[in-house]
Chains A and B, each alone.
Chain A
Amino acid sequence: MARTLLAIYPHNARRYDEMLTADGDVRAHWRQFFGHLDAVAPDEMRRRLEFVDRRIQENGVTYNVYADASGSDRPWALDPLPLIIPPDEWTEVAAAVAQRATLLNAILADLYGEQKLLAEGLLPPALVYGQHGYLWPCQGIKPPGGVWLHNYAVDLARSPNGRWWVIADRTQAPSGAGYALENRLVVSRVFPEMFRDLHVQHLADFFRDQLEGLAAHAPVDGDEPPHIVLLTPGPYNETYFEHAYLARYLGFPLVEGQDLTVRGDSVFLKTLRGLKRVHVILRRQDDDYCDPLELRGDSALGIPGLLNVARAGRVVIANALGSGLLGSGALMGFLPAICRRLLGEKLAMPSVATWWCGEKPALDFVKENFDDLVIKPAYPTQRMEPVFGYELEGEARAEMLRRIEARPHAYVAQEMVELSQAPTWSRAHERRLLARPVGLRAYAVASGDGYSVMPGGLARVATGANARIISMQRGGSSKDAWVLTNGPVSEFTLLKPSVGVRDLVRAGANLTSRVVENLFWFGRYSERFDDSARMLRVALARLVEAGGVKTPAVASSMELAELLRILPRPEEDGEIGEGSEHALLEAIYDPEQPGSLAGTIRNLMWSATHVRERLSLDHWHSLNQLQREQQAAHKMHPTLTEAIAFLDRVLGISSSLTGFAMDNMTRDDGWRFLFIGRRLERLTFLAQSIAGFLRMESARAPGCLEWLLELADSIITYRSRYSRLPEMLPVLDLLVFDDSNPHGVIFQANVLARYLERMAKELGEHFDGNLEQALANLRDFDLESLEDVQFVPGRDQAAGEDLAARLDALVFAGNQLSDWLGMRYFTHVGDVSRQTMAL
């Protein structure tokens, strides 16, 4: 038996230890869990940690620190050991959190209504009228059911004497409940026996209460079911993962501002099948960005006119617009009196002592006790990190004091809290517990009948043993919180075992125009990515074979790449050797060069980001990795061989993307648009390539038909049919007219026509372009007319022109189709609303 984990677990007299008493004994509610943990073999624990990491990887749980399309999302950090809270203690905490939510809702009702708190002097006007977060246009709006605050989160910390204190209130659009849920799903599988034996309360009831609470006051017409959407600011938000995750879990469409439109006094979701009224918006976007007509006019994120829908009582916005102002720490000192006034009760859980500098006596106190205080912004909209008084010296200290003096009402000072500590599993050691400061973010939701508190929450862990601040931005980690119960555990679950037929139908019906548009472009870019890589590989391979000499095959393949705008058009006669090599490498690696593969990868990533929840994580990772590789290589001056290897990898990833789309995606309208995008792109690529080839004098040299076959990925088919050197006629037959060759023009056009027909049936819209005509024209082409043509340099120059012109017409019709789809079905992401102003 190894020595107990307690042997080297650090004790800290200044902090409350969640697991140990002051005497160093394991607390009663930890005993069983600790006994289990102490007995787990190191190998077994390693396996469990690997499971945690894998699960987080596979589920794509990320927290975007400086989110961007190049994929710098950071994996979510989770310590497998739960924070355990005994039943009696939790009962008190939960009651206090529910009371506080009730109180804050009552304050919002007052501040956006009659304002008796101001009239009675219980709250300084500066904390209301002086806050950007107080949204004047929302004054007088009464939300359905009188609920302003649907979602509330509160940061709690435990002081050395064991009491819980409130550090901060989150009333804007609190984040983290989704992470808490994911933590639970992981940790309950790491310690399944413990989870069962300890009677840990489940989280599902909380989310059901949230669902019911949102639906309870939905202003529906008649008996229509409430249509609830989750509004996200988009994939670049730091908690976008959570938005997508919760939307899926709760079964709501995930929408952005552009997906919604106000008509008169109702708000609608723009779907492929028309406008669909929305009754409830679960909002993860900050309120001042929600309506550019009346709130911030400089934002394109919002939904113009939304406030009028709220005024008419025709939508539930959760949280109501204007709720953010209660996130102000300056309010804390006023809450006890307000609680007595509004609820007739004592405030159950104290807030950490907080001085609002806008009051003269408080300001004097803060100046005198500067070293013992943390300075924070008074208003949640201020961008400022907390500052510890004792850390500031000399000029920095004087500057901070000057800033406070100049605008005292904009600052609060808080007592410094010694956070409690809890054991975490050390990843650096084989078998060791570390003690780390922890805090708990607790959650409450309006349940239609008061507030329901999540049993547990997101336990947050600081990085260092002595940290005073816990921040996910600064690299902190998280824990699951286990609230034990004496009674039975509710077994209710919202997780579905698998996706049923009804879900597919619903997903299709609710598909937003924006998602469809992004899927279409994702389809086009993934095909373009393939085409460009193939074209560049053809040219590079020729160049390598020729030992760097510009043979006719090199010249002609590069000429076609120029024609297709994958290589830039030469300004004068291109140079041989070094010049070609450089041009090809730039076309692969330089994202700034128009038409380059790197640029296409960037566009592909951009559209993939916007349809991320529809992609498998493997693909997301391969694309990420590919982009990183390309970025790294761009700086390293890769060799031609390395470049070819890179293109091989691109084509490998491309074919797995294709396979995924074919085999794994639901065949809904969105899928159809994705494939229309792919087919359209390949059709125009092939038709343009073959037309260009036919017109190129340089392509008549020996060896060129081989690369054309390679470009169209048809070399194996050709060899199996003709077992001889490629000749013009059979090559054209295979690449243009053979309707069984998936890399043939006619094949692509036929498939495209079938998709369009299906779409016309589903959506009742018919594309009235020239595609069918152009296709018929191409089919009518008499291949025999080329039978006697000599495809050698200097002979029968114009012979291919007729066919080339018919291919051109097809390309033209394809582009027309693309424009038509855009006009008819897409949101026009580029076409943003603008503000106008007249005096």
Chain B
Amino acid sequence: MSSPVRYRVLHETRYDYGSPVSLSQQQLHLSPRILDCQQIEEQRIEVTPPPSWRRDGQDAFGNPVSWIFFNAPHQTLLLRSIMTVAVLPRLPSAEDITDSLPWEEVRDRLAYDSAEPQPIDLEAARFLFESPHVRIKHELAAYAADCFAPETPILVGAQALMAKIFREFTFDPEATTVSTPVLEVLENKRGVCQDFAHLMIACLRALGLSARYVSGYLLTRPPPGKPRLVGADASHAWVAVYAPGSAGDWVDFDPTNNLLPDTEHITIAFGRDFSDISPLRGIILGGGGAEPEVAVTVVPLDEEELPPELELPPDPAAAD
């Protein structure tokens, strides 16, 4: 068993509004959740200007969420979410994958039959149906069909589906927006991590399987010999598949990179799809143009020197 990998992450979001915003409310899914494979050592969000009201809580899926409110006119909004996270290895072995349950068995467990369901199946049923970004259409089931031949172990099928999407789709940030429907992505075969995650989820749900959308960060490696550039990363999204009996009952898949996340994926939140856990969703009054600038930096703490921007600010609570 290898030891945890520790990261410092900075996720900065900046809005420069064309004209003053008089009222603004924002919902933040920026704080990482605690998982079996993930511990949070420190975490803090700095907001400028300081909000006039704030509430912290948990959403229906157990993710940390915050709401902030501004009623003084402002033309800039800056959020710096900074955290130290330790990620434990979680890569399933080859046997874990080949020995997973046949996919039909999982499907049948999730189907309603008037009996008392297993608690884990009921929990998984939250991620079984349509959601705002995930339509369930027969085209999607058809696309996944060759990966899920009868009796295929569910994780083998999921891995094949991930590989198929990776093979057949082109990463293209210009091709889609946050609201591009999954069927359009399927047709045009282009998109970004979000689109691939939604597509894979939709395929799995179309087969009667549960799949959730995971948001977080991915460690990137600067070219050999080059220093890490602050802000060069982005937030990332991938998929978790319900496979009861495997470790944790859920296994992550990253269709954008065709790999099973291990210690280089840092999880923020999971939900049915992007709409449940969009990092920063707001309603503003006024403001003119409002395209945010987002910069993410992920630094492995024990390997690299920390750029000064990623130093933890003093904890206001510690001063007491």
Residues of A within 8 A of B (CB): 118-121, 124-126, 129-130, 136-137, 139-140, 261-265, 292-294, 297, 304-305, 308, 311-312, 358-359, 406-407, 831, 833-839
**Contact indicator B69/A311 (Cβ below 8 Å):** no
Report, as a range, how many residues of chain B touch the other chain. Answer: 35 or more
Collect the chain A residues with CB atoms within 8 Å of residue B115's CB: 121
Is there contact, CB below 8 Å, between B278 and A264?
A: no
- CB-based contact B285/A839 at 8 Å: no
B15 proximity list for chain A (CB < 8 A) = 836, 838
Q: Which of B240-248, B286-294, B311-319 contacts A (4 or more CB under 8 A)?
A: B286-294
CA distance A407 to B61 in the complex (A): 26
B182 to chain A, nearest CB (A): 16
With A263-B69, A263-B71 in contact, do A839 and B283 touch (Cβ < 8 Å)? no
State the CA gap A508–B126 with chains docked (Å).
49
Given A140-B60, A262-B25, A839-B235: A130 in contact with B130 (beta carbons within 8 A): yes
Structural contact, A129 and B138, CB atoms closer than 8 A: no
| Closest partner residue, chain B, to A828 (CB atom) | B285
A265-B129 contact given A136-B276, A297-B281, CB 8 Å threshold: no
Partner of B128, one of A125, A264, A308, A406: A125
A-binding segment of B49-57, B86-94, B249-257: B49-57
A837 touching B280, Cβ below 8 Å: yes
Q: Which residues of A contact B112 (CB under 8 A)?
A: 121, 124-126, 358-359
| The 4 nearest A-B residue pairs measured at CB | A139-B60, A130-B129, A124-B112, A264-B53
Most buried by A among B55, B60, B126, B276: B60
Q: How far does the Cβ of B60 sit from chain A's closest Cβ, in whole Å?
A: 4
Which of B116-124, B195-203, B222-230 lies at the interface with chain A?
A: B116-124
Other 13 A-B pairs with CB < 8 A, given A297-B283, A833-B285, A835-B283 = A119-B119, A126-B128, A129-B128, A262-B25, A293-B27, A305-B67, A312-B55, A359-B112, A833-B23, A834-B285, A834-B290, A838-B292, A839-B294
Task: Give CA–CA (A358, B113) in the complex, Å.
Answer: 10
Asked if residues B27 and A294 are in contact (CB atoms below 8 Å), the reply is: yes
CB atoms of B281 and A835 under 8 A apart: yes
Task: Specify which of A120, A304, A311, A839 is in contact with B279 (CB 8 Å cutoff).
Answer: A839
Q: Give chain B nearest CB distance to A443 CB in angstroms.
A: 32
Q: How far is the CB of A411 from chain B (nearest CB, A)?
A: 14
Cβ-based interface call for B178 (8 A):
yes
B245 to chain A: closest CB distance in Å? 20
Instruction: Provide the B47-83 mask, 1 if CB < 8 A to any CB of A, else 0.
Output: 0000011010101110000010101000000000000
Indicate if B125 sits at the interface (CB-CB under 8 A): yes
**Interface residue from B60, B279, B285, B290 paired with A831 (Cβ < 8 Å):** B285
Residue pair A137, B116 in contact (C-beta under 8 Å): no
* Complex contact A311–B128 (CB within 8 A): no
Using an 8 Å CB-CB cutoff, how does the interface string of B181-204 with A read, 1 for contact, 0 for none?
000000000000010000000000
Proximity bits, B113-147, A CB within 8 Å = 1, else 0: 01111010010011011100000101000000000
Q: Separation in Å of the A28 CB from the closest CB of chain B? A: 45
Min CB distance B161 to A, Å, is: 21
B284 to chain A, nearest CB (A): 6
Q: Are B281 and A293 in contact (CB under 8 A)?
A: yes
* In the bound complex, CA of A835 to CA of B179 (Å): 13
| CA A745 to CA B51, docked complex, whole Å | 50
Do A293 and B25 form a contact, CB below 8 Å, given A831-B285, A839-B279? Answer: yes
Determine if B13 is an interface residue (Cβ-Cβ < 8 Å).
yes
Judge whether B301 is part of the interface by a CB distance below 8 angstroms: no
The minimal Cβ–Cβ distance linking A407 to chain B, given in whole angstroms, is 7
Contact call A125/B125, Cβ cutoff below 8 A: yes
- Asked if A120 contacts B116 (CB within 8 A), the reply is yes
Cβ distance A13 to chain B, nearest Cβ, rounded Å: 39
Residue of B nearest to A356 (CB): B112
Q: How far is the CA of A407 from the CA of B278 in the complex (A)?
A: 28
Candidates B25, B57, B71, B178; contact of A837 at CB < 8 Å: B178
| Assembly CA distance A124 to B122 (angstroms) | 10
Contact A118 B283 (CB under 8 A): no
Q: Which residues of A contact B128 (CB under 8 A)?
A: 125-126, 129-130
| Docked complex Cα distance between A262 and B294 (Å) | 28
Specify which chain B residues have a CB less than 8 angstroms from the CB of A129 in the assembled complex.
125-126, 128-129
16 contacts between A and B (CB under 8 A): A118-B122, A119-B116, A121-B114, A121-B116, A125-B126, A125-B128, A129-B125, A129-B129, A136-B61, A297-B283, A304-B25, A831-B286, A833-B285, A834-B284, A834-B285, A836-B283
Q: Which residues of A contact B53 (CB under 8 A)?
A: 263-265
B5 at the interface (CB under 8 A from A): no
Residues in chain A near residue B279, CB distance under 8 A: 838-839
Q: Are A125 and B122 in contact (CB under 8 A)?
A: yes
* B160: interface (CB < 8 Å): no
Quick one: closest B residue to A407, CB to CB? B136
Q: Is B310 an interface residue (CB 8 A)?
A: no
* A119–B117 touching, CB < 8 Å: yes
Q: Is the CB of B284 within 8 A of A833?
A: yes
List of B residues within 8 angstroms of A120 by Cβ? 116
A113 to chain B, nearest CB (A): 12
Bound complex: CA A584 to CA B215 (Å): 64
Decide yes or no whether B282 CB sits under 8 A from chain A. Answer: yes
CA distance A308 to B286 in the complex (A): 22
Question: What is the CA–CA distance of A263 and B70 in the complex, to the nearest angstrom?
Answer: 9
Chain A's closest residue to B178 (CB) is: A837
Chain A contacts of B283 at CB under 8 A?
292-293, 297, 304-305, 833-836
Docked CA distance A263–B281 (Å): 18
- Taken together as a complex, chains A and B put the C-alpha atoms of A126 and B128 apart, in Å, by 8
- Asked whether A836 and B290 contact (CB < 8 A) given A130-B130, A263-B69, the answer is yes
Taken together as a complex, chains A and B put the C-alpha atoms of A126 and B126 apart, in Å, by 9
Contacts of B116 in A (CB 8 A): 119-121
Q: Which B residues are CB-close (under 8 A) to A264?
A: 52-53, 69
In the assembled complex, B234 has its CB within 8 A of some CB on chain A: yes
Q: Complex Cα distance A312/B56, Å?
A: 12
Question: Which A residues are CB-close (under 8 A) to B138?
Answer: 406
Q: How far, in angstroms, from A788 to B227 measured CA to CA in the complex?
A: 89
Which among A118, A124, A265, A293 is the interface contact of B282 at CB below 8 angstroms? A293
Q: How far does the Cβ of A249 sit from chain B's closest Cβ, in whole Å?
A: 33
Q: Which residues of A contact B69 (CB under 8 A)?
A: 262-264, 305
Most buried by B among A358, A831, A835, A837: A837
| Residue from the list B13, B55, B129 in contact with A311, Cβ < 8 A | B55
